[in-house]
Amino acid sequence: MKILLVGGAGFVGHHLERALTEKNHEVFIADRFNETERDLHHWAIDLRSRSSIESVLTETSPDCIFHLAALSSVSCSWKTPEETFQTNLLGTLHLFPSVMTQAADSRFIFVGSGEEYGGNCSETAPFTEESACQPRNPYAVSKLAAGLTLDLLTARTKMRYVHLRPMNHYGPFQREGFVIADFCAQIACAEQGKGSRILRVGNLEAKRDFLYIEDIISAYITLVEATEYPNRVYNLSSGQVCSIHDILHHLLSMSKVPISVEIDPEKFRPVELPVLVSSAKRMSQDFGWQPKYSLKAGLEKTLNWWREKIQAETENDINHRTFSNGKERDI
C-alpha cells in the first residue's frame, strides 16, 4: 500500500514511517523539507499552497493519508495562536479539497488530540467519543475546529475517514518542550555532568493519560490494515490517569545521581486542566486494539534513549575538540 504521511518528519512520523516500512508499505513523507532534503520518498509541501499539495498527491498517488501536520505544543499555542490556527486549521482546510480531487479513493486519517475535550472529567468518568468538547487552549480549539470541519465534509462523501483523538504520547525522538521529554533530558544531562542537578518544573498536580509511542503506532498500523472502516471518532488512550508528580517520581527513582526539584512559575500554563483522561473502548471494540506498554516500561525506554543521545552528543563534542586542536590530535 502507498501511504502518505503529511507532516511526517516529526516525532510520530519518524516511528510510523519505520513501522510501515517494516510491513512492506511504500511510505512517502510530505513536510517542510528544503531542496537538499528531497528525494523520491520525501516531498516538500506547503499547506498554504493548493498547487504544492496537489503536486505531492499526483506524484505519490496514495492509498492512505495520515494528516499529522500540526503545531502541537499547548504552551506555544498561547504565545503564537495565529500561527497555530494557520497551520492546524487553515492547513487542513487547504489539504482536504485537494485530497477529494486527487485522492478521493484513499483512506484519510486525521490525527486530532485528546485536548479537544477540555472540560471536566474524572479518574472514574473518563471522556468518551460522545463527550462534549470544551477546548481550553488555542491548540485544542484549532484541532477541534479542523476535526469538526472534516467530520462534516467527509459525511457528504464516500471517503473512508477516521478522526483520532490520542492522549499524551511520549517516547524516543520526542523533542524537548513536552513534559516527559523535558524531565528525561534534564536527568540524562545531570547524570553526565552536562547540566544542573536541580530540575525545574511547572505544575505537578495535573493528571494525564499517557501512552508510549509504540502503542500509538500499533493503533495507526491497525487502522491501515483494517478492512472495515466506520467513519467515526476514536480515542487512543491507556484509560489510566497519572499525575505529573508521579511521572517525575518514577523518573527520579531511575536517576543515577541525586537530583533536587524546584518549582518554576514560568513553566505554568495560563490554563491547566486538572484531569484529562479518556476511554479507548470504542477503538478496542471496533478494531481489537489495546495498549501494551506499562507506564514504567515506557518511561525507562524513553530515559535510556535520552541517556544514549546525550552520551553521543558528549562524545561528538570531544571528537570535535580533538580534531580541531593540533596538540590533541596527536594523542
Computed over its alpha carbons, how large is the radius of gyration of the chain?
21
| pLDDT at residue 119, rounded to an integer | 80
Residue 77 carries which side chain, given as an amino acid letter?
S
Q: Which residue has the higher pLDDT, 315 or 226?
A: 226
For the record, the C-alpha cell of 87 comes out as 497551520
Going by pLDDT thresholds of 50, 70 and 90, the confidence category of residue 320 is: low
* Phi, psi dihedral angles at 305 (to 5 degrees): -65, -45
Burial of 53 (0-12, 13-18, 19+ CB in 10 A): buried
β-strand partners of 30: 6, 43
CA 241, CA 210: separation in Å to the nearest integer?
8
Nearest Cα residue to 304 out of 259, 256, 258: 256
In this predicted structure, the answer to whether residue 324 has a pLDDT above a threshold of 70 is: no
Min mean pLDDT across 73-77, 285-289, 294-298, 307-311 is at: 73-77
CA 153, CA 147: separation in Å to the nearest integer?
10
Min mean pLDDT across 196-200, 207-211, 270-274 is at: 270-274
CA 261, CA 259: separation in Å to the nearest integer?
7
DSSP annotation of 39 reads B
Report the relative pairing of strands 207-208 and 275-276 from DSSP bridges: parallel
In this predicted structure, the answer to whether residue 281 has a pLDDT above a threshold of 60 is: yes
Q: Which domains does the chain have, with CATH numbers?
A: 2-315 (3.40.50.720)
Residues with Cβ within 8 Å of 325's Cβ and at least 6 positions away in sequence, in order, are none
| pLDDT at residue 326, rounded to an integer | 54
| pLDDT at residue 214, rounded to an integer | 98
Helix (H) or strand (E) holding 161: strand 160-166
Rounded to the nearest integer, the mean pLDDT of the chain is 92
Please answer whether residues 171 and 302 qualify as being in contact, where contact means their C-beta atoms are separated by less than 8 angstroms: yes
| pLDDT at residue 329, rounded to an integer | 42
Helix (H) or strand (E) holding 74: helix 74-79
DSSP annotation of 174 reads P
- Mean pLDDT score, 138-145: 96
CA 331, CA 186: separation in Å to the nearest integer?
32
pTM of the model: 0.91
| pLDDT at residue 57, rounded to an integer | 96
CA 148, CA 154: separation in Å to the nearest integer?
10
